[in-house]
Amino acid sequence: MTTFLQTLMDAISVGSLYALIALGYTMVYGVLRFINFAHGDVFMLGAWFSFWVTTKFGWAGEGAHPSIPRALTVMAIAMALCGLLGYLIERLAYRPLRFAPRLNVLITAIGVSLLLQNTGQLKYVFGTENQRMPTLLPATTLATVAGVNITLIDVIIVAGSLVLMGVLDRLVYRSRMGMAMRAVAFDPHTASLMGVNVNRTVSATFVAGSMLAAAAGFLYATKYPNLNQPAFSTWTLLGLKAFIAAVVGGIGNIRGAMVGGLLIGLIEQFGVAYSAPLSHGYITGEFKEIYVFALLILVLLVKPSGILGRLTVEKV
């Protein structure tokens, strides 16, 4: 029981992070029909910006003491920086290719990803060594239920993700900008005939997605304070899993990304927690990614459009 509850809590916490990142993939796909492979790197930079801001403000080392206003400040700055970065990526790298063949855009996305990683690991940026994210949130255990520690950090991750997803959901389904995003997603030409500024809408999509990635990066850094260097495989893998979450949930579908994120969190945490005891030690923790990819294959076989996805409606 303890194992079950502990695993469930970890799964929801990790899953929320995947969902936050997945939203950026799915939004950009929804609007532009391409996979922004640099999105995982924006998430990575969100984590590293959080580290950078915290140390710049002298909230590391001697000056480190947990405080929620500080945490919110750091998160807000990281989100602003990543928002700006997302804007620049779209403006400089993708917009000139708006009408170019898909493959060109895909290769460019990979190029942007490598550029961000390699810039990030420059000596004068974040360097090539892992760093400890200073503690911004108190490591308080709020409650212990059936032997499971419910920590403040996990509660904040889950609550913060829910709030951000709620805000995004409102933005997309209840606001003028959301209407514009959804219209561009269906057909940018027709959307422009409705008076939608397509370029600005696309920019807004990148900014919103990047800000969510930054929030995920900040929350990640508070939960996993050992920050690996920017080009390290950890980041690529996390970005990849979030992308899978978006596909599993139904790429282009915002609620699907949330469902997909949670599902990936559940499958990998429960997979690891129960595989060793159930297989008498033959299958152990390093299979984590295999569960995720197996889920992807299963979903693609049974429902290729993803759990909440619809098959693309042809233009009439």
Partner 1 sequence: MALTLTGCDQQPQQPAVTGGSPVATPGEIVVGQYGSLTGSEATFGQTTDEGVRLAVEERNATGGIKGRKIKLVTYDDRSNAQEAGTVVTRLITQDKAVAILGEVASTRSIAGGRVAQQYGVPMVSPSSTNPTVTDIGDMIFRVCFIDPFQGTVMAKFSHENLKLTKVAVLYDKGQAYSTGLSNYFQQAFKEMGGTITAVETYKGGDPDFSAQLTTIRNSGAEAIYIPGYYNEVASIALQARKLGIPNSVPLMGGDGWESPKLAEIAGEAVEGCYFSNHYAPEDERAEVKEFIAKYKAKYNGVTPGALAASGYDAANILFDAMGRAPSLSGADLAKALAETKNFKAVTGLITINKSRNADKSAVVLQMKGGTPVYVATVEPPKK
Partner 2 sequence: MALLEIHNLDVHYGAIQALRGVSVSVEQGKIVTMLGANGAGKSTTLRAVSGLIRPTRGEVRFDGKPIHNLPPHRIVEMGISHVPEGRGIFPGFTVEENLQAGAYVRKMSHGEFERERGRVTKLFPVLKERLAQPAGTLSGGEQQMLAIARALLSKPRLLLLDEPSLGLAPLIVQVIFRIIREINQTGTTILLVEQNIHMALNAAHEGYVLEAGSVVMKDEATKLAANDDVRKAYLGVG
Interaction site with partner 2 (CB under 8 A): 176, 179-180, 182-183, 186-187, 189-199, 310, 313, 315-316
Q: Which does 181 bind (CB under 5 to 8 A by kind): partner 2, partner 1, none?
A: none
Which is closer to partner 1, CB of 156 or CB of 237? 237
Q: Provide the mask over 261-280, with x wherever binding to partner 1 is found by CB under 8 A and - wherever it is not.
A: -------xxxxxx--xx---
Q: Computed from CA positions of residues 210, 214, 219, 223, in that sequence, does the dihedral angle turn out positive or negative?
A: positive
What does the radius of gyration of the chain's CA atoms come to, in whole angstroms? 20
Which is closer to partner 2, CB of 186 or CB of 293? 186
> Given candidates 163, 284, 298, 304, which one binds partner 1 under the rule CB under 8 A?
284
HEC assignment per residue over 246-280:
HHHHCCCCHHHHHHHHHHHHHHHHHHHHHHHHHCC
> Given candidates 237, 240, 255, 307, which one binds partner 1 under the rule CB under 8 A?
237
Helices (H), 137-224: 152-174, 176-186, 188-193, 198-223
User: Rounded CA gap, 303 and 296, in Å?
Assistant: 10
Q: Which does 196 bind (CB under 5 to 8 A by kind): partner 1, partner 2, none?
A: partner 2
Which is closer to partner 2, CB of 176 or CB of 280? 176
Smallest gap from Cβ 189 to partner 2, in A, equals 6
How many residues touch partner 1 under the rule CB under 8 A: the total is 44
Which is closer to partner 2, CB of 65 or CB of 200? 200
User: Rounded CA gap, 296 and 98, in Å?
Assistant: 29
Smallest gap from Cβ 226 to partner 1, in A, equals 4
Which is closer to partner 2, CB of 121 or CB of 199? 199
Cα angle value 30/35/37 (rounded, 5°)? 140
Smallest gap from Cβ 263 to partner 1, in A, equals 16
> Phi/psi of residue 98, each to 5°?
-50, -35
Answer yes or no whether residue 123 interacts with partner 1 by CB under 8 A.
Answer: yes
Kindly indicate which of the ranges 28-36, 77-85, 168-176, 220-228 contains the residues binding partner 1, using the contact rule CB under 8 A.
220-228
Which is closer to partner 1, CB of 67 or CB of 119? 119
Q: Are 157 and 219 in contact (CB under 8 A)?
A: yes
User: Rounded CA gap, 135 and 139, in Å?
Assistant: 8
Tell which positions 14-53 bind partner 1, by CB under 8 A.
14
CA torsion angle 110 115 116 121 (round to 10): 130
User: Rounded CA gap, 67 and 137, in Å?
Assistant: 6
Q: Which does 121 bind (CB under 5 to 8 A by kind): partner 2, partner 1, none?
A: partner 1
- CB < 8 Å & 24+ apart, contacts of 57-65: 59/134, 59/136, 60/134, 61/134, 64/134, 64/135
β-bridge pairing 141-145 and 226-227: unpaired
User: Rounded CA gap, 291 and 272, in Å?
Assistant: 9
Q: Which does 238 bind (CB under 5 to 8 A by kind): partner 2, partner 1, none?
A: partner 1
Which residues of this protein are in contact with partner 1, per CB under 8 A? 2-3, 6-7, 10, 14, 118, 121-123, 128-132, 139, 141, 149, 151, 220, 224-226, 228-229, 232-234, 237-238, 268-273, 276-277, 281, 284-286, 288-289
